[in-house]
Structure 1
Amino acid sequence: MKGFAKRINTVAEYYFSAKLREVGQMVAEGKPVINLGIGSPDLAPDKTVVEALKNTAQNPHAHGYQSYQGVPELRASMAGFYSREYGVDLNPNKEILPLMGSKEGILHISMAFLNPGDQVLVPNPGYPTYTSVTHLLEAEPVFYGIDLEKKGRPNFEELEKKDLSRVKLMWVNYPHMPTGASGSKEILAELVDFAQRHQLVLINDNPYSHILNPEPLSILGIPGGKDVALELNSLSKTFNMPGWRVGMLCGRADWVEAILKVKSNMDSGMFLGLQKGAIAALNLGQNWFSDQNEIYTNRRKLIWKLADNLGLTYDPKATGLFVWCRMPEGKSAEELVDWLLYAKNIFITPGKIFGSAGNAYVRFSLCMPEFKILEAINRIKP
């Protein structure tokens, strides 16, 4: 054995992969851990989604290899979803690529565009996979700050002072994870202008747009956005289907075609039953979103109460599936996370895993029933 590739030394195991093993072991030992850390929806998909899967699975002709680009009906449903929800017209044959979860799209996009030594703009705080994939491809992440007082606006003024000649990609994420900053049309327009001037490829990672967010936006709906941007979207959070692994990449045809070259060498298409379930989900009406958001609104109020009891501060105008909380001055986020887990059997996420700008923060997930959040509140009472 001559050793692993050098790239494996540039990344650690994904935080939740390792931490959930520990939490699982605690549960196996009989500890009643309440998991407020990970954003895996506990609610079920709509019954029509499950029926579509079941009906397809019973068809003996449905179990063969599928198209790398998904069935035409799936792409048409994705295009219809973008038209209804964002006012964006997409060619379902050229501007949409179904994915086995949008997380794989981060890798496929990066492999299609990056060479060793290229630079990538990554938000700090931000989703850790942007950084790890950049390292795996021997490219260099360049971190930029966002202003939580201005809906997560990137610090363009600082960015303009940098040498951006080696930057090829810029990751953006609105509504932002982990902070819940909503973004705005004005911010997306600034990003499009920035990308045009610096000849960057923008990628908006957009899985949270319908969760506690009154104005779902797509960067592809901004004038000029289709020329400089791609967008990832997912059914995981919006339709309670995280384990189904169904996502999509949308944007200009030549870029989608290049990414398909990567993807088609790495998988053999999505099971037809999953595609049929996704089609049913994408065609649900507005009542689906309002019903989900009513549940999340009630849960968020309880998380706010939990945060208040812990002396944490948060932005009540934030959106998305999480509550991002700042520690009191002089208090350690890691110490709070450990105390809650080991003394109170409550798991929350330390902000440091999202970058250095998260060191003074913790994150709560809304993916837990109200009675469990109430139990967590009771556990921390003096």
Structure 2
Amino acid sequence: MIQSAKRLETVQEYYFSKKLKEVRQLASEGKPIINMGIGSPDLQPPSTVIKAIQDSLTDVGAHKYQSYQGLPEFRNAVANFYKAKYNVIINPDNEILPLMGSKEGIMHISLAFLNEGDHVLIPNPGYPTYSSVTNLVGAKSVFYELDATNNWQPNFNELEKFDLTNVKLMWVNYPHMPTGTKALKETYQQLIEFGKKHHIIIVNDNPYSFILNDTPKSILQVEGAKDIALELNSLSKSYNMAGWRVGKLIGNQHFLNEVLKVKTQMDSGMFYGIQKGAIKALELDDRWFKEQNKIYQSRQQLIFKIADTLGCTYNKNTSGMFVWAKLPEGQESEKVVDDLLHNKHIFVAPGTIFGSQGEGYIRFSLCVPEEKIKEAITRF
């Protein structure tokens, strides 16, 4: 029997990939499953975006290979977006790299900068892909703990006690997933100072800026941030375009040139029509976000009722498309999730899939129609 690569011994199949098989099996047996576990937007992209991709299909060259750096119009749209929304000046010629979703960027950045044995600072709780990719490239995950007592912000006093000798990269994610904690200017400033002091590249994963958030922030707003920081951003969540796979990496030319060496070996450019649709999305004004957030706010209030029924506590002042809820003392996340799935036919995510600091928490997605959330409420 042919053996698989040893690197696969360091990772497991993604939790949602495995668990959704069980969810689908229950649904196939006629169980009325309500899926509140996944952050996949159920709303439609803007109609103008759909029209833009449709109109582009007959353009000359639309179906050819595209540039690895993307259309100039796409990069200009990203630069204009960053100036308008974050007041950050980006050079569209050399400080923007399109990605097939920001998840791809996590792999590209890791391959570009990490050698076997390098260490990577990863938030706990945090997005599981950070540690999975770190393991796949032969680097070592070093977890820094976040908790509610410190508003889920990094504890820099504790970080300074770490052995940082071999640390090359630090993953940051604000607004934070899974907790929804908003970005703080002070945290971004401290991160840039920390990165410069210890020669660590700071990567901020920033796809939730505009969801239930009136004060979107970018780490690149900090003076001197481009010297040491990269930012991943995406249209997946903000514009309901998750399946389109449109992301972008923002940073200085040197960093992006290194990432480009990896990217050019792994794709042949983003489809022309998708870029044209993305341009149209990036040109929309803030009315789009306000309308989307009305929907999410209404759903959020209903999710709070479910959390109350379960005896959970939660922070109402959060961003993103999730509700992070603390279970009553002594309850275990995965047991509660399984009980809800099999007895109420409601699927939510256990906090433990985001790290050990997620034990005792569950996460609800807001990507569920109101009528389904109301139905879930009646099941209690």
Identify whether the pair has TM-score above 0.5, normalized to the shorter chain.
Answer: yes
Partners of 2:61 and 2:161 in 1: CA distance: 58
The match for 1:339 is 339
Instruction: State the percentage of identical aligned residues.
Output: 59
Moved more, 106-115 or 147-156: 147-156
Q: Given residue 301 of structure 2, which amino acid in structure 1 is its aligned partner?
A: K
1:238 deviation in Å?
0.6
Secondary structure, in 3 states, of the residue corresponding to 1:189? helix
Does the alignment pair 1:228 with 2:195? no
1:237 deviation in Å?
0.2
1:149 deviation in Å?
4.1
The match for 2:105 is 105
The match for 2:29 is 29
Pairing of 1:214-225 with structure 2 (within 5 A): 214-225=214-225
Q: Which runs of 5+ in 2 are unaligned?
A: none
The match for 1:305 is 305
The match for 2:78 is 78
User: Number of residue pairs matched?
Assistant: 380
1:60 deviation in Å?
6.3
Structure 2 length-normalised TM: 0.98
Partners of 2:318 and 2:90 in 1: CA distance: 29
1:336 deviation in Å?
1.1
The match for 1:379 is 379
1:32 deviation in Å?
1.4
Partners of 1:99 and 1:20 in 2: CA distance: 26
The match for 1:184 is 184
1:150 deviation in Å?
4.1
Which deviations, in whole Å up to 9, do the C-alpha atoms of 1:331-364 show, x marking residues without a partner?
Answer: 1221210111111110000000000000111000
The match for 1:45 is 45
The match for 1:258 is 258
Q: Given residue 100 of structure 1, which amino acid in structure 2 is its aligned partner?
A: M
Q: Which runs of 5+ in 1 are unaligned?
A: none
Which deviations, in whole Å up to 9, do the C-alpha atoms of 1:273-303 show, x marking residues without a partner?
Answer: 1111100101111100111111111110000
8 A contact 2:179–2:323 mirrored in 1: yes
Secondary structure, in 3 states, of the residue corresponding to 2:314? coil
Which deviations, in whole Å up to 9, do the C-alpha atoms of 1:7-38 show, x marking residues without a partner?
Answer: 00100011111112222222222221111000
Partners of 1:29 and 1:219 in 2: CA distance: 47
Secondary structure, in 3 states, of the residue corresponding to 1:268? coil
8 A contact 2:147–2:357 mirrored in 1: no
The match for 1:154 is 154
Pairing of 1:67-216 with structure 2 (within 5 A): 67-216=67-216
Structure 1 length-normalised TM: 0.98
1:2 deviation in Å?
3.9
Secondary structure, in 3 states, of the residue corresponding to 2:18? helix
Partners of 1:145 and 1:187 in 2: CA distance: 15
Moved more, 227-236 or 141-150: 141-150
Q: Given residue 298 of structure 2, which amino acid in structure 1 is its aligned partner?
A: N
8 A contact 1:152–1:182 mirrored in 2: no
Partners of 1:108 and 1:94 in 2: CA distance: 17
Partners of 2:151 and 2:72 in 1: CA distance: 37
The match for 1:283 is 283
Secondary structure, in 3 states, of the residue corresponding to 2:313? coil
Partners of 1:373 and 1:81 in 2: CA distance: 34
